[in-house]
Amino acid sequence: MRTKKLGRSNLWQYYAMLIPGVVVTFFFCYIPLYGVIIAFEDYNVGMGFSSPWVGLQNFRYVFNQPTFTRTIWNTLYMSVWKLALGIVVPVTVAILLNELRSDKLKRFYQTLIYIPNFLSWIIMAGVLMDILSSGGAINLILHALRLPTVDFLGNAKIFPWTMIISDVWKGFGYGTIVYLAALTGIDPTLYESAMLDGASRWQQIKNVTIPLLMPTIVLMTVLSLGSILNAGFDQVYNLYSPAVWESGDIIDTYVYRLGIQQAQYSVGAAVGLFKSVVSAFMVIVSYRLADKLAGYRIL
Amino acid sequence: MKKKTTAFDVILIILLGVICITCVLPFIHLLAVSFSSSSAVAAGKVGFLPVEFTPASYEYVISGGRFLHAMGISLERVILGTLLNIVLMVLTAYPLAKEDLPGRGILSGFFVLTMLIGGGMIPTYLLVSGLGLKDTIWALILPGALPVYNMIILMNFIRGLPHEVEEAAWIDGASPFQTLVHVIFPLLGPSLATVGLFSMVGHWNDWFSGMIYMSQPINYPLQTYLQTLLVDFEKLLQSDSTGNIKDILSKMNARTGRAAQLFLGALPIMMVYPFLQRYFTKGLTLGSVKG
C-alpha cells in the first residue's frame, strides 16, 4: 500500500513544516549567494548589493597581486600534505590497533586519540603556542638533548610543517575510528584461513586487511578532495604572524585580512567566489568519483 | 584461535601507547602549568606535575569576571543554538523523508545546493551586518540555524524507520504534525543525540563568528574571548595590576593564567566526551544509511 505513505489528509502540513527551514536557508544561504555579485562591483556601504558594476576588474586586480598567487600555492601545499598524511596516519594506526589482542586496551587507546578532535583550534593553538615557544616544553627537551632549538611558529621554512603535523595530530583520531569501524566488519574466518595457510602477521595485514580497507580509503580520499582549498583557517589564523606570511598565508586568511579587516569587500568577495567555484567543482567531481569507485551516495 | 603473546605484540602495545600519549600529554602539561607558580614556569621546571602549587591563576580567572561572563554568553548560545538546530532539522528532515511528497526533489535540491556553493565570508558578513544583527546573540545562531548535512543524516534515519508505526497513527486519524510529534520524534533518540551533540560542540567551539559579528569585546563568547588571550593577555594582565588582586598576580603570569583559562575552556568538552565518543562513532554509520 505504497500510496498511503503520506497519510490521508492534511498534505499541506508537510509543506508548513518546511517553511522555517526554507526561510532560514533562503536568508542566510541564498541572499549571500546573490551577494557575490559585489565581486563584480565596486561595493560601497550606502548602495549595498547594487553598487556600480565594474566587471572583472576585482579579479584582474587580485590575480595580479603576487601576494595572492602566493596564497594559492601555500594553500595547496598545506592542504595536499594534510590530506595525504590525514589518510596514511589513521590507516596505519587503525591497522596497528586492529592487531592488538586486548579489546580493552584497544578501546582505551581509541579514547585517548579521539580527544583532540573535539577541542577548538583556539584551545589547540593555545596549547601549541605554549609547548612550541622558545621557552616551551619541546624546546626545553631539545635543549636538554643538546639539539638545536627550533622556531616552530616563527620560521617561514618550518611553519607549514608545524601546521601540517599539528593538524594531522589533532584529526587522526577521527580517521582511525572510521577505518577501525571498517576493519571490525571484516569476516574473521578470512584471517583464520590465512593463518592455516601459514601466513605471518605481516602477510595477513598485506593480503587481507589492506585490500579490504581499500574501498574505505578510496571513499575517504575522494570525499576530502572537496576541501582542497581549505588549508585550515582556524588553525593558521591563530598561529601565524607576519614573519611567516610568505609560506603560511592561505586563501582564507588573505580573504579575511583583505575583506573584513581592510574592508575591501569587493576584492574579498571576488577571492571568495573564486574559491567557492573551485571547491564546488571539486565537490561534484569527488561525489561522482565516490559513487563510481565506492558506491557511496549521500542522498 | 588463541596465540601466545609475541615480541611483536609487546612492541605494538608500546608503540601505540606512545602515539596515544602524545594526544593527551600536552593537556596534562597545560594543567600542570596552570597550577604552578609563575617563577617555576618561567624557570622551565614544570613538566607534568604542578611545581610550587598555587591556585592563583584560577583565582584570577574568577575574580576578573570576564571569563565567566564570556562563558555565560557561550552557554546561552549553546542552549539556544542547539535547540533551534534540532527544531529546524527535525521539521525539515521529516517531510523530506517522505519519498512521495510532491515537489520533494526540488525542495531537497534547494537545501543540498547550499552544501555545494555558498556566498562565502564577505557577503554573509555584509548581510548579517545589514540585518542589524551585529552584537546580538542571533548573529551567532541564525546563519547556521539549519545544518544541512546533519539534517540529511537525520532524514536518512527517519527513512529507515518502519512504516507501520506511522500507518497506525494515521488510522487513528493523526495529522502529519501529530504523527511527527507523538510518533516519530520519540523514535529519533540516538540519531538526534548524534546530530544534537554535533551542534553543541560546533556552537561551543566556534570563535570566528564571535570575532567578526561582535564589535564590543563584552559580547564575545568564550572561544572568541580565549582567542584574544592568545594575542594580548600580557597587556591585559598589566592593566589589571591594581587593587585587591595584586596578591594573586604576584604568583601568576600570562602563561599560567592563559593555561588556566584554556583548560577551563576545554573542560566542558572533556566532560561530555564519553557521550561524544559513543555517539560520534555511531553517527559515522548513521550517515551511510542509503535511501
Which amino acid appears at position A250 of this protein? I
> A62 lies in a domain?
no
Q: Are A32 and B119 within 8 A, CB to CB?
A: yes
Clarify whether residues A173 and A38 are in a common domain: no
Query: B9 to chain A, minimum CA–CA distance in Å?
Result: 7
Of the two residues B243 and A283, the one the predictor is more confident about is A283
Grid cell listed for A128: 601549541
pTM (two decimals): 0.89
Task: Assess if residue A57 is contained within a domain.
Answer: no
Looking at the fold, whether B24 and B140 belong to one and the same domain comes out as no
DSSP calls for B259-275: HHHHHHHHHHHHHHHHH
Residue B78 has a CB neighbour count (10 Å cut-off) of 21
Indicate whether B13 belongs to any domain. Answer: no
Same domain, A203 and A73: yes
Same domain? B101 vs B129? yes
Q: Is the ipTM of this complex over 0.85?
A: yes
What pLDDT shows up at residue A298?
A: 59
CA distance B27 to chain A (A): 7
Closest CB to B120: pick one of A111, A272, A297: A272
User: Is residue B2 one of the residues assigned to a domain?
Assistant: no
Domain count, chain A: 2
User: Residue B4 falls within a domain, yes or no?
Assistant: no
- Write out the H or E segment, with its range, that includes residue A110: helix A103-114
Helices (H), B65-147: 66-96, 104-116, 121-130, 138-141
B8 lies in a domain?
Answer: no
For chain B, how many structural domains are there in total? Answer: 2
- Answer yes or no: do B49 and B182 share one domain: no
Of B100, B116, B177, the CB nearest to A283: B116
Beta-carbon separation of B127 and A35 below 8 A: yes
Q: The domain spanning residue B71 has which CATH number?
A: 1.10.3720.10
Task: Please check whether residue B172 lies inside any domain of the structure.
Answer: yes
Q: Is A173 on the interface with B (CB under 8 A)?
A: yes
**Any idea which residue has 504523527 for its cell?**
B179
Q: For residues A156 and A217, state if they share a domain.
A: yes
Cβ of A5 within 8 Å of Cβ of B99? The answer is yes
DSSP for residue A30? I
The verdict on residue B7 lying in a domain is: no
Chain A residues close to B116, C-beta within 8 Å: 280, 283-284
Whether B252 and B185 map to the same domain: the answer is yes
* Pairwise CB contact (< 8 Å): B119 & A31: yes
pLDDT per position as a tens digit, A127-139? 999 999 888 889 9
**Same domain for A100 and A19:** no
User: Are A238 and A281 found together in one domain?
Assistant: yes
Q: How far apart are the first and last CA of chain A?
A: 24
On whether both B47 and B117 belong to a single domain, the answer is no
Q: How far is B241 from chain A (nearest CA, A)?
A: 23
Q: Identify whether residues A39 and A100 lie together within a single domain.
A: no
Sign of the Cα torsion A54, A257, B144, B220 reads negative
What does the pLDDT average to over A148-173? 95
CATH number for the domain that contains residue A86: 1.10.3720.10
Pick the residue of B122, B226, B258 with the most A CBs within 10 A to test the interface with A by mutation.
Answer: B122
B38 with B80, same domain: the answer is: no
Does residue B277 lie within any of the structural domains?
yes
Rounded CA-CA distance B84/B278 in Å is 23
Across the interface, of A13, A114, A126, the residue whose CB is closest to B277 is: A114
Last residue of a domain, one of B35, B54, B73: B54
Q: Which residue did the predictor score with more confidence, A95 or B277?
A: A95
* pLDDT value for B1: 47
Residue A60 lies in a domain: no
CA dihedral of residues A83, A86, A88, A94 (deg, nearest 10)? -150
State whether B48 and B68 are in the same domain.
no
Residues B109 and B70 in one domain: yes
Q: Which domain holds residue B278?
A: 62-291
Neighbours of B283 (CB within 10 A): 20
**Interchain proximity A33–B123, CB inside 8 Å:** yes
Please choose, from the candidates B263, B200, B261, the residue with its C-alpha nearest in 3D space to the C-alpha of residue B63.
B261
CA distance B29 to B48: 5
Residue A183 lies in a domain: yes
Cβ distance of A118 and B276 shorter than 8 Å: yes
Q: From the CA of A163, how many Å to the nearest CA of chain B?
A: 16
Q: Is B10 within a domain?
A: no
Choose among A287, A290, A292, A237: nearest CA to A71. A237
CB contact under 8 A, A93 and B19: yes
A95 touches chain B (CB under 8 A): no
A123 found inside a domain: yes
> Measured on CA atoms in the order B57, B60, B62, B66, is the torsion positive or negative?
negative
Q: Is A116 exposed, middle or buried (0-12, 13-18, 19+ CB in 10 A)?
A: buried
For residue B270 the three cell numbers come to: 572533556
- Over residues A220-232, the pLDDT tens digits come to 888 788 888 988 9
How many contiguous H segments (helices) and E segments (strands) does chain B have? Answer: 16, 0
Q: Mean of the pLDDT values across residues A46-59? A: 89
Nearest alpha-carbon partner for A126 in B49, B259, B174, B281: B259
In the structure grid, which three cell numbers stand for residue B98, read together? 517522505
- Closest partner CB to A10 (pick from B175, B201, B284): B175
On whether both A199 and A135 belong to a single domain, the answer is yes
Count Cβ–Cβ pairs < 8 Å, chain A vs chain B: 266
Q: Are both A232 and A115 inside the same structural domain?
A: yes
Residue A158 has pLDDT above 90, yes or no: yes
Residue A35 lies in a domain: yes
Q: Is A56 helix (H, G, I), strand (E, B) or coil?
A: coil
Q: Domain of A40?
A: 2-50
Q: Are residues A136 and A257 in the same domain?
A: yes
Q: Is A278 on the interface with B (CB under 8 A)?
A: no
Would you place residue A201 in the very low, low, confident or very high pLDDT band (cuts 50, 70, 90)? confident
Question: B-chain residues within 8 Å CB-CB of A275?
Answer: 120
Tell me if A200 is assigned to some domain: yes
Instruction: List the single residue in A5, A116, A280 with the smallest CB-CB distance to B23.
Output: A116
Q: How far is B101 from chain A (nearest CA, A)?
A: 7
C-alpha to C-alpha distance for A218 and A181, rounded to whole angstroms: 15
Shortest alpha-carbon distance between residue A62 and chain B (Å): 15
Could B127 and A27 be called an inter-chain contact, meaning their C-beta atoms sit closer than 8 Å? yes
CB within 8 Å: A34 and B119: yes
Q: What angle, rounded to 10 degrees, do the helices at A12-25 and B104-116 form? A: 20
What was the pLDDT predicted at B184?
Answer: 92
CA distance A216 to chain B (A): 12
Contacts of B208 in chain A (CB under 8 A): 233-234
What's at B165, amino acid-wise? V
Tens of pLDDT along B241-258? 666 667 777 788 888 999
Contacts with B180 from chain A: Cβ below 8 Å: 17
Which of B9, B26, B54 finishes a domain?
B54
Residue of chain B with shortest Cα separation from A33: B119
A156 and A212 part of one domain: yes
> If you search the block for the grid coordinates 546580538, which residue do you land on?
B136
Q: Please report the sign of the dihedral spanned by the C-alpha atoms of residue A204, residue A206, residue A212, residue A217.
A: positive
Nearest-CA distance B146 → chain A (Å): 6
Residue A58 within a domain: no
What whole-number distance in Å separates Cα of residue A288 and Cα of residue A285? 5
Decide if B281 and A177 are in contact by the 8 Å CB cutoff: yes
Q: Is the dihedral of CA B28, B30, B36, B39 positive or negative?
A: positive
Q: Do residue B232 and residue B194 come from a single domain?
A: yes
* Pair (A9, A148) in one structural domain: no
pLDDT tens string, chain B, 291 residues long: the values are 456 678 888 999 999 999 999 999 999 999 999 999 988 888 888 888 999 999 999 988 888 788 999 999 999 999 999 999 999 999 999 999 998 899 999 999 999 988 888 888 889 999 999 999 999 999 999 999 999 989 998 998 898 888 888 888 888 888 899 999 999 999 998 888 888 988 999 999 999 999 999 999 999 999 999 999 998 887 777 777 666 667 777 788 888 999 999 999 999 998 888 888 777 766 655 544 333
Q: Does the structure show a pLDDT above 70 at A44?
A: yes
Residue B150 CA to residue A270 CA, distance in Å, equals 29
Same domain, B256 and B169: yes
